[in-house]
Structure 1
Amino acid sequence: MVPHLITALTGPINELEQRILESMPAIERWFRLEWMEHTPPFYSSVDLRNAGFKLAPVDTNLFPGGWNNLTNEMLPLAVQAAMAAIEKICPEAKNLLLVPEAHTRNTFYLANVQRLKQIFHQAGLNVRLGTLDESITEPVTMALPDGSELVVEPLQRHRGRLGLKDFDPCTVLLNNDLSAGLPSVLEGLHEQYLLPPLHAGWAVRRKSNHFQSYEEVAKKFSKLLGMDPWLINPMFAQCGQVDFSEGEGLECVQTQADALLTKVRRKYKEYGINEKPFVVVKADNGTYGMGIMMVRDAKELADPSRRTRNKMSVVKDGQQVSQVIIQEGVPTYERMNDAVAEPVVYMIDRYVVGGFYRVHAERGTDENLNAPGASFVPLAFAESNQLPRPGAKPGASAPNRFYMYGVIGRLAMLAASYELEATDPDAEVYE
């Protein structure tokens, strides 16, 4: 069973797919060599956009939710990958402490926590949940729609180690993106692994750093395949000291958006693409599809409406937006039952374990789909996405298309690895 997709199966994406399939041994060897030098993030998810002429990541999440949207068929892959990841970090691990988002009763999010707990339990670990919500002082039981329950317990810190009552874990896994700041209870842990590290949290992390690293990865990869990196890389610019509510710093955003639109027009002309380019202005940190606007003409930024100012002023947990990334807009031409769709690829360690389509019936091909009203359709791999069919025509075979998604997803994951190394506050700097 493979989702029925109406994709723009013409033009360069077929050439790109063909080139990726023909170069599969070289690609896999290249990844293998990269992973000898770099450590993959513990887990990640990547939002892709397939424009028919271009396939690129537009966001990489290092604290992915949505694991409940993966099918049961994907569980064995996820469990194997989790085993490999834990083995590298703490082979003697018995206990895993999972720290979810605080203050949430959202049943979809809790189903995601339940699925993560299931994956790591099946990987051979005792998994318990500890919350950063200081108002929780006793274990709390939360009911899920399927009749199961989750117990969330207050965190305890003892002699520099983080745990729960009668539970001392080797590894602490965050499924909380730290948008609200870095909690002191997580700092300076003694002989415990905190995954992902604190500097991966949105209190510190910046999308512009990630896409700087991705540009580097895309150039290396494109050189290997002898192709234009633009086909897999969204161009971007960045502005600091921006305050939408006060209208400050908007000249920078307008100038950069104008320059980027000019660059994209040039590329469209080079490839004979008959589209009106757009850019996406979004908070340089943060998630949940907040603080995002589409711009087709830089003049729109001269005097944004009050609604736009309010929307762009704060992101999750009420954090003020002071820096933005201006990113080349990549339209999505994948559809499912007449609704616009985009693939999201999920990874644990260096392995692709599955994914789904984010589908939104009320949004256009050039709009953000991560918004209320979105639904999720699993990327139901009838066969493993790691086993493409070399003989099939590009675009004709779902495993081939999914293999290509997996390659681009892994490039974004590798970029996250570069990014985390470059921004690690504890890394030794060699002059």
Structure 2
Amino acid sequence: MPVPHLTTALKGPLLELESRIIAAQPQIEHWFRSQWQHHDTPFYGSVDLRNSGFKLAPVDMNLFPGGFNNLNPEFLPLAVQAAQSAVDKVCPEARSLLLIPENHTRNTFYLQNVATLAHIFGQAGLKVRLGSLNPEITEPTELVAANGDKLLLEPLVRQGNRLRLADGFDPCVVLLNNDLSAGIPALLQNLEQALLPPLHAGWAVRRKTHHFRAYDQVCQDFSRLLSIDPWLINPYFAQCSNLDFHSRQGEEELARTVDEMLAKIRVKYAEYGITQDPFVIVKADAGTYGMGIMSVKSAEEVVGLNRKARNKMSVVKEGLEVSEVIVQEGVYTFESINEAVAEPVIYMMDRYVIGGFYRVHTGRGIDENLNAPGMHFVPLSFECPCLPDKAGEPDCPPNRFYAYGVIARLALLASALELEATDPDA
């Protein structure tokens, strides 16, 4: 599959940043190896990146990635090897795996993701079956994915401290592809089997601000290694809590936070001679699926929101009310595919980059969230599986993708620190 053509406004600092990343590859890989000796790798994850030409930074980290069906199938062997490594770490004797997907069984593209995950672990030598938390699944139920793949979803059975299926299937490993937005069910608590990711990685506990605090720490260390300004790979952020969008409680505090953030960004834009208008993204501090997000360029835009905007911001997945938001520096994306705005999404398992895709949206601008209805996906071909071409230009595809992989792995490392800090058993 050819590498999608990238049209990126390559301004000096990013070319310089990519050049430093390529030149420092041996130090970077040694640094990552040493970090993974001290921290447990998250089982899997995906990172949304934004490349503005002057800045390359993660804007979201998902610990329950749901787009494995969008990866380039040519790189399936990478995923299988990473899956074997990830499972070996938690249960070297593992023969079977119980995969628990999200409850929204009507999303046939999501089901295609589940089928792809089951295929990866099947190829890794495990017997894989699907168990459901959905109370509507009371007997084995066949579902059909968007591409025609058939899945058998079965109700979970708890016996003592083990999860099983009705016929006695007793897995070594339980893998969640359900982000627990609706809370942590008693069925999953205090299991003796390896449960991955851990329960505190779910949105019932996790906060985006926790992740980006950990990412701040990772960026400080990495930036010293490369002698770069951490801002080039790190978006500013702040948290706002005690909000009620319906009653407009906390509106002034939110506006003040937005104003302060824009002022900080303006200082950096002036330092680097950037002429674009700074903007911030306001989004729910917990949750996914592009819900509860708005892009603003002035504090006035969050004051006196109309009813439609308040409704949009007030509720996320599973109907949960939003009372906490992250106010995050907006990072422009100057990447496009066929003249549509695009952003790279990088997928990892264990500590390995296994592929990615471009999220593309024909109806959104370079300063807007692309995770919205109408988006589509173009697989990324990582030439020479994410290895740089030191003889090539800094922005040639292998080097661009190596840089993506480095920044994505920084976010993965931040997730490791985040999970350590929020581990209730630590």
Which residue number corresponds to residue 23 of structure 1?
24
Contact 2:45 2:65 in 1 (8 A): yes
**Letter aligned with residue 180 of structure 2:** L
Deviation (angstroms), 1:249:
1.0
Counterpart mapping for 1:47-196 below 5 A = 47-165=48-166, 166-190=168-192, 192-196=193-197
Distance 2:77 2:119 in 1: 11
Match of 1:411 in 2: 410
Report the equivalent of 1:393. 393
Work out the percentage of aligned pairs sharing the same amino acid: 63
Stretches of structure 2 lacking an aligned partner (at least 5 in a row)? none
1:200-258 alpha-carbon deviations (Å, 9 max, x no partner): 00011000000000011011100110010000000000011111111001122111110
**Cα distance between partner residues in 1 of 2:51 and 2:149:** 37
The code of the aligned residue for 1:406 comes to G
Please state how far the C-alpha of 1:392 moved relative to its aligned partner: 1.2
Going from structure 1 to structure 2, the CA distance change for 1:382 and 1:312 (only over 3 Å counts) comes to: same
Q: Give deviations 1:40-91, integer Å, cap 9, x for gaps.
A: 1100000000000000000000000010001111100000000001111100
Matching residue of 2:351: 350
Detail structure 1 runs of 4+ shifted over 4 Å in the superposition.
none
One-letter amino acid of the counterpart of residue 160, structure 1: N
Q: Secondary structure at the match of 2:228?
A: coil
**TM-aligned CA deviation for residue 303 of structure 1:** 1.1
Following superposition, the deviation at residue 147 of structure 1 comes to 3.3
**Aligned equivalents of 2:250 and 2:145: distance in 1?**
45
Q: Partners in 1 of 2:143 and 2:319 — Cα distance?
A: 26
Contact 2:220 2:230 survives alignment (8 Å): yes
Aligned mates of 1:347, 1:364 — CA distance in 2 = 27
In 2, the alpha carbon distance for the partners of 1:301 and 1:103 equals 32
Q: Partner of 1:364: helix, strand, or coil?
A: coil
Letter in 2 for 1:43: Y
Q: Report the Cα distance in structure 2 between the residues aligned to 1:254 and 1:289, rounded to whole angstroms.
A: 21
**DSSP 3-state at the match of 1:96:** strand
Per-residue deviation, 1:383: 2.6
Aligned-partner residue type, residue 315 of structure 1: V
CA RMSD for the aligned pairs? 0.8
Cα distance in 2 for residues equivalent to 1:358 and 1:148? 23
1:67 and 1:135 map into 2 onto residues whose CA distance is 25
CA contact (8 A) 2:140 2:153 kept: yes
SS at match of 1:368: coil
Using the alignment, how far apart are the partners of 2:53 and 2:144 within structure 1? 43
SS in 2 for 1:261: helix
Partner of 1:295: 296
**CA-to-aligned-CA distance 1:409-429 (integer Å, 9 cap, x gap):** 0000000000000000110xx
Distance in 2 separating the partners of 1:390 and 1:249:
51
**Separation in structure 1 between the aligned mates of residue 59 and residue 24 of structure 2, nearest angstrom:** 24
Give distance in 2, aligned partners of 1:379 and 1:326. 29
Q: CA deviation at 1:406?
A: 0.1
Once residues 283 and 178 of structure 1 are traced to their aligned partners in structure 2, the CA distance between those partners, rounded to angstroms, is 15
Q: Which residue number corresponds to residue 421 of structure 1? A: 420
- The gaps in structure 1 that reach 5 residues or longer are none
Amino acid at match of 1:95: S
Q: 1:145 to 1:256 in 2, by over 3 A?
A: closer
Amino acid at match of 1:180: A
Q: Deviation at 1:103?
A: 3.5
Conservation of the 8 A alpha-carbon contact between 2:111 and 2:146: no
Report what 2:310 is aligned to: 309
Distance between the aligned counterparts of 1:413 and 1:182, measured in 2? 23
With structure 2 as the length reference, what TM-score do the two structures score?
0.98
For 2:85 and 2:100, the matched residues in 1 are separated by 21
Distance, in Å, in 2 between the alignment partners of 1:57 and 1:103 is 27
Quote the Cα distance in structure 2 between the aligned partners of 1:5 and 1:78.
Answer: 25
CA shift, 1:398, in A, is 0.2
